[in-house]
Amino acid sequence: MKKWKSQILEWIREEYKFLLFLILLYFILQVRVNYYIITGGGISDVSSRIMVEEKYQSKGSFNISYVTELQKATLFSYGLSYIIPTWERESANLYKYTETESMEDIQLRSELDLQAANSTATYWAYTLANKEIECLSSHIYIVSIATDKKTPFKVGDELLSMDNQSYEDLNSYREYLQTKQEGSEIKIKVLREDKEEELISSLYTLNDRLVLGINLQLIRKYETKPKVSIQFKRTESGPSGGLITTLEIYNQLTKKDLTQGLNIAGTGTIESDGTIGTIGGIRHKILGAVDAKADVFLVPSGNYEEALEYKKEKKFKIKLIQVKTIEDAIKKLEKLDI
């Protein structure tokens, strides 16, 4: 035993420079870089996250599509992305509105986007299913600071009033600002960490409009009959599941099963006017759906050309359906023949 230990110590003495190099290399490779590494995609059945009282049963499934990311990349994973063909690099700056925005701001915005998507999905599902829905309250949040100028606002502030005037929609606030002059000081009341605060900010001109340099998100709270509960994981934040969320709620509300026993995946935001918005990472999402053996993939119009090209390139057999609005998606699923 002593001989064995002495041999190890002798080897360490002889190779200490190499060992120090390995230790140093290890720590260098763990250094974070300003990139995300997208490593793949997948799908997830949303029926376990959405529950309508006395719902109709479905023989198939609606599945949200997602991409898998390494947050944030290390020098090691960044280097691997040049070797592994399915890994892609994305600058973290693409997620930022300003240089000073933090990762916490990005995460909070993503969570607010999810709440807004669920709210809009609920409205459209109940409206199109001819079920009772009533708006109880409207909440407007600051989701990003669109300027590098000094500003008193923070991501997550709830906008309560401007110059003591309160509105329940975004356009009313925007129109109010256009009645002012450049440089005018606006008194804004916000709710921040459960406390009301009064802020002062000056208007400036951007693209021929007077702005405060903030982007807003409207989230409405609804009372529905039958009741609906939506519970997504914190890691599933963001707006891109809006289309599938709407379809799942609608399918639970109506007797005719839109899935027809198929596993349907898809992606796309649901906008206030019912249009389906473009998303990122479409190739990874289609690949994830193919790997999970989905039968159909719903694609926003803005992503359809790229999706079709990728399907042909990889010779996938999955059926792609282009959708422009939520009504368009429902009609095409009703007529679906596979």
pLDDT higher than threshold 80 for residue 231: yes
Strands (DSSP E) found in 71-120:
88-91
89: left (phi over 0), alpha (psi -120 to 50) or beta: beta
Q: In angstroms, how far is CA 52 from the centroid of its own chain?
A: 23
Mean pLDDT of all residues in 37-56? 89
Please, is 73 exposed, middle or buried when counting C-beta atoms within 10 Å of its C-beta (0-12, 13-18, 19+)? buried
Question: In 172-208, which positions are buried (b, 16+ CB within 10 angstroms) versus exposed (e)?
Answer: ebeeebeeeeeeeebebbbeeeeeeeebebebeeeee
Based on its alpha-carbon atoms, the radius of gyration of the chain, rounded to whole angstroms, reads: 25
Contacts of residue 263, defined as CB under 8 A and 6 or more positions apart, other chains included, come to 60, 61, 63, 292, 293, 294, 295, 296
Question: Nearest-CA neighbor of 73 among 58, 54, 83, 88?
Answer: 88
pLDDT at residue 94 in the model: 65
In this prediction, residue 313 has a pLDDT band, given cuts at 50, 70 and 90, of very high
The tens digit of pLDDT for each residue in 16-32 reads 677 777 777 777 767 77
Instruction: Provide the whole-model pTM.
Output: 0.84
pLDDT at residue 52 in the model: 97
The domain locations on the chain are 41-67+106-131+226-334, 135-218
Percent of the chain beyond pLDDT 70?
A: 91
In this prediction, residue 96 has a pLDDT band, given cuts at 50, 70 and 90, of low
Average pLDDT of the chain to the nearest whole number: 88
The tens digit of pLDDT for each residue in 183-203 reads 999 999 999 999 999 999 999
Question: Nearest-CA neighbor of 153 among 94, 87, 93, 109?
Answer: 109
- Report the alpha-carbon distance of residue 300 to residue 277 in Å, rounded: 6
Top-tier CATH class for 41-67+106-131+226-334:
alpha beta
Cα 229-233-235 angle, rounded to 5 deg: 150
pLDDT at residue 143 in the model: 93
The tens digit of pLDDT for each residue in 102-154 reads 878 888 999 999 999 999 999 999 999 999 999 999 999 999 987 667 789 99
Token pair for residue 303?
């992503």
Contacts of residue 163, defined as CB under 8 A and 6 or more positions apart, other chains included, come to 176, 186, 187
**Four-way CATH pick for 135-218: 2.60.15.10, 2.30.42.10, 3.40.228.10, 3.40.50.970:** 2.30.42.10
Classify residue 236 by its DSSP letter: G
pLDDT at residue 6 in the model: 72
pLDDT higher than threshold 70 for residue 175: yes
SS3 for 243? helix
Token pair for residue 16?
């200490």
Q: Are 267 and 302 in contact, with CB atoms under 8 Å apart? A: no
In this prediction, residue 207 has a pLDDT band, given cuts at 50, 70 and 90, of confident
Question: Nearest-CA neighbor of 174 among 149, 203, 195, 201?
Answer: 203
The tens digit of pLDDT for each residue in 326-336 reads 999 999 999 98
Tell me the backbone φ, ψ of residue 276, rounded to 5 degrees.
-100, 120
